Amino acid sequence: MDAKRAITAAKPLLHWYDRHRRALPWRALPGETPDPYRVWLSEVMLQQTTVATVRPRFATWVARWPSFADLAAADEADVMAAWAGLGYYARARNLLAAARAIAAKHGGQLPDTEEALRALPGFGDYTAAAVAAIAFGRRAVVVDANVERVVARLFAIDAPLPGGRRAIRAAAATITPEKRAGDYAQAMMDLGSAVCTSRKPRCLLCPLADQCGALALGTPEAFPVKKPKAVRPHRYGTIFWLERDGHVLLVRRPDKGLLGGMRALPTGPWELAPPGLRDAPAEAAWRVLERRVEHGFTHFTLDLDVAVADTERATNLGEWWPVATLDEAGLPTLFAKAAALARSRQA
């Protein structure tokens, strides 16, 4: 890499952004003042999540909880259920915790410095910088996966991720402008999303092409270099559908760990071999469906048997939820899949 070569990215990038910026529901139009609540909510929803997925969820969310105060007053169970299907559920817990901290300690307003934001739950380096820049116009070095890719290519940084982040961040700092901080940050996102894409980058459309080290080498797609990932192990489990008088037994998962704090169908630990009916929540005439549910997580894949049974007996192992309104229970996708299979009984 040639770190000393002067690159002036902000000016051509902002010029490009003025012509090609995406209209997004959480974005202020030119001349408008951004709403910090919407900026924050969008940044959290967009963590590891695509714009297409976030768009409708954002609209539903702000209609229900339009401000920090509204969210701070919400019940945790409602917030978790509203997040169902979006994944990374710690985001929802932290979102509510932050809203309550903002109400209690910050007068109902988001603090406007990167440092103060960084102290709130769910604000890491990226989100604190992005909110400071986008909502408050503060100069901040905003580094997400888009910026990593753009900067690694621009400077032809070949240190593999994640170790290479230090060099990428340092390079990013050298091209981050003082003015139009929010526009610049979002311009980098839009460029990474539409032009400097992970595969088949559209270099002919890029406003920085004439300065791009990776393009000069002829291999833009080779950047950023990444360390190979570990193989994903396979696990097995059984999910239990226990029905009683038109209601199904739901449990609440522990706050910490996978799918933490979410409503769920009963299931035992997921292990290297199928556990069968070992962890059934009650004695019943369980029938294991022939079809299985397959589900992929980031770090392992899962094969699940679905066992169904009817019972007459009330238990206090969880809540009996009306089957007819199960889609309102806020089940994570994995359990929604199992529920659909159990209800169809097309074993």
Partner DNA sequence: GACTCGTGGGC
Partner DNA sequence: TGCCCAAGAGT
Q: What is the Cα–Cα distance from 130 to 123, expressed in whole angstroms?
A: 10
For 222, other C-beta atoms within 10 Å of its C-beta total: 13
Rounded to whole angstroms, how far apart are CA atoms 4 and 63? Answer: 49
Stretch that binds DNA, among 241-249, 280-288, 289-297, 303-311 (CB under 7 A): 289-297
Helix (H) or strand (E) holding 11: helix 10-20
The residues in 123-182 that bind DNA, with binding defined as CB under 7 A, are 123-128, 130, 144-146, 149, 162-163, 165-166
Closest CB to DNA among 28 and 282? Answer: 28
Which residues, 9 to 48, sit near DNA by CB under 7 A? 24, 26-27, 42-43, 46-48
Binding mask 200-239 for DNA (x = CB under 7 A): --------------------------xx-xx-x-------
Question: Could you tell me if 110 and 283 are in contact, meaning their C-beta atoms sit under 8 angstroms apart?
Answer: no
Residue 242 binding DNA, by CB under 7 A: no
Percentage helix, strand, coil for the chain under 3-state DSSP, each rounded to 5: 45, 10, 45
Q: In this chain, which of 189, 212, 215, 239 binds DNA, going by CB under 7 A?
A: 189
Nearer to DNA, 90 or 277 (CB): 90
147 CB neighbour count, 10 Å cutoff = 26
Distance of CA 48 to the CA centre of its chain: 4
Q: Which is nearer to DNA, 131 or 309 (CB)?
A: 131
CA distance 94 to 100: 10
**Interface residues toward DNA, by CB under 7 A:** 24, 26-27, 42-43, 46-53, 84-90, 94, 121-128, 130, 144-146, 149, 162-163, 165-166, 186, 189-190, 192-193, 198-199, 226-227, 229-230, 232, 257-260, 295-299, 332-334
Q: Which residues are catalytic?
A: 43
